[in-house]
Amino acid sequence: MQKDKEYNEWYLDIVEKAALSDKRYPIKGMNVWTPYGWKIMRHIDAYIRRELDSTGHDEVSFPLLIPETEFKKEKEHIKGFDSEVYWVTHAGLNELDVRLILRPTSETAMYPMFSLWVRSHQDLPLKIYQIVNTFRYETKQTRPFIRVREIHFFESHTCHDTEEDAQCQIEEDLVILSKVMEKLCLPYYLLRRTEWDKFPGAYYTVGIDTVMPNHRTLQLGSVHHYRTNFSVPYDITYEDESGEHRYVHQTTFGMSERLLGAVISVHGDDKGLILPPAVAPFEAVIIPIFSKKNTEEVSSEAEKVRTVLGDAGIRVKLDDRDDRPGSKFYDWEIKGVPLRLEIGGRDIENKVVSFARRDNGEKGAISRESLVPGVRLILEEIMKDMSEKAKRFQNASVVDLASADDIPKEEDDGASERVYRFGWCGCEECGHRFEDEHDIKILGTPYIHEDFRGRCIICGKDVDTAAYAARTM
């Protein structure tokens, strides 16, 4: 299938053919993580854990269920989630006195405990995270990894003595983010969301968006500054050095299995998945190329190559199934294994291992003697090339708008699906007008300063900040 022309169908087809998840589970939008998809996700989780652990976050695991009474304490928050939570109303044969919700996110589970944990300024900063399943009753059409009703995600939550320290935490989160995204070879925008689109209860929200093959954007996660918006209703206070009780300043950072949805969408091609080596279950697959007379020799060499690479810590698979090489090539291309190694009689003679890169199809040979550094080098080049290619695509998706009239009409076969950059005065009235007239969502303004001079696309006022807008997945 052609990714460019029929992305939606292509995506579902790849998820199924590469056996990443099974959506035949008898509840819509709740899919089974099958082994190959789960392995990739666990690699992603491992990088997240590594970065969070090394920046002093402690991993915890909170209960899934939240009493309705706790859930309702922050007014904006409950308004934002009321219509999309699952309710547990009965246990065994009894009706519960207090109904329980399946967490859609864990603020209201964690903050009653934070109120017990934080006593003095010495308990701060408090930095914790968890990697768990979370639930949202999606009414829109579901799609594996991108819009599901049981979501695998991580969330970090922090408490600080001052707003400045909370602000520093957000800067740290963005460094963590950049390191994780580097492993996934994914570019992204950091956009400060509009007031009407921020997280319910947040002071401000920075959305993490990436551009999909249909030029719509996908929000991968977000970073929130809460100020004291939650610490007041949940009574999370500390005693400062002068003995006064003060409310803590809070932040959160979270990303979901959409990361995998983006990896599939951004990197894949018409033949199947293309996995970044850092998260591929197998970085390389070895295919022995037998002829009648050399079966044993080729087998033994393939086995040796497997051992050499495996011992060096490279995740490698030897495909010794009794099948034609062409058919094996096809299978591993669908699965997106970054590097294919072929070993035939001529390779053994020439003391080389032949290779083919999954990302760009490039072929060549690595000297057998320097196999390990040779493979490592190619895997690094693949990472670099995949990142650059994705970045080029993202950049090419952006259209600078001088006037709203420049937006192509919707009927132009997807031509209107772009990321638009334009001047916006920042006022709600202009923002809503733009969104309503063009059915395009304002994603926000760049969190990291971008030079810009222009006029608000609606009211014409001079502005020095651009807004980004796009249709979203």
Give the per-residue contact string, 63-102, with a copy of itself (x = CB under 8 A; - = no).
xxx-x-xx-----------xxxxxxxxxxxx------x-x
Nearer to a copy of itself among residue 61 and residue 403 (C-beta): 61
Find the part of the chain contacting a copy of itself (CB under 8 A) among 1-9, 29-37, 240-248, 300-308: 29-37
Task: Provide the minimum distance between the beta carbon of 236 and a copy of itself in the complex, in angstroms, as a whole number.
Answer: 14
Preceding amide of 338 cis, omega within 30: no
60 belongs to the binding site for a copy of itself (CB under 8 A)? yes
Output 25-34 pairs: Cβ under 8 A, ≥24 positions apart: 27/149, 28/142, 28/149, 29/138, 29/142, 29/147, 29/148, 29/149, 29/150, 30/148, 30/149, 30/150, 31/144, 31/148, 31/150, 33/152
**From edge to edge, which strands make up the β-sheet containing 316-318?**
316-318, 284-289, 339-344, 352-357, 363-367
Chosen residue from 112, 325, 345, 454 binding a copy of itself by CB under 8 A: 112
Chosen residue from 33, 111, 145, 253 binding a copy of itself by CB under 8 A: 33
Residue with tokens 């291309």: 333
Residue 5 to residue 470: CA distance in whole angstroms: 19
User: How many Å is the Cα radius of gyration of the chain?
Assistant: 25
DSSP state of 472: B
307 belongs to the binding site for a copy of itself (CB under 8 A)? no
DSSP string, 122-151: GG-SEEEEEEEEEE----SPPBTTTB-SEE
Which two three-digit tokens encode residue 361? 């199809």
Strand partners, 472: 217
23 belongs to the binding site for a copy of itself (CB under 8 A)? no
Task: Provide the minimum distance between the beta carbon of 132 and a copy of itself in the complex, in angstroms, as a whole number.
Answer: 8
Task: Provide the minimum distance between the beta carbon of 94 and a copy of itself in the complex, in angstroms, as a whole number.
Answer: 8
306 belongs to the binding site for a copy of itself (CB under 8 A)? no
Task: Provide the minimum distance between the beta carbon of 389 and a copy of itself in the complex, in angstroms, as a whole number.
Answer: 31
152 belongs to the binding site for a copy of itself (CB under 8 A)? yes
471 belongs to the binding site for a copy of itself (CB under 8 A)? no
Interacting residues with a copy of itself (CB under 8 A): 22, 24-27, 30-35, 38-39, 42, 58-65, 67, 69-70, 82-93, 100, 102, 109, 112-113, 116, 128, 133, 135, 137, 139, 150, 152
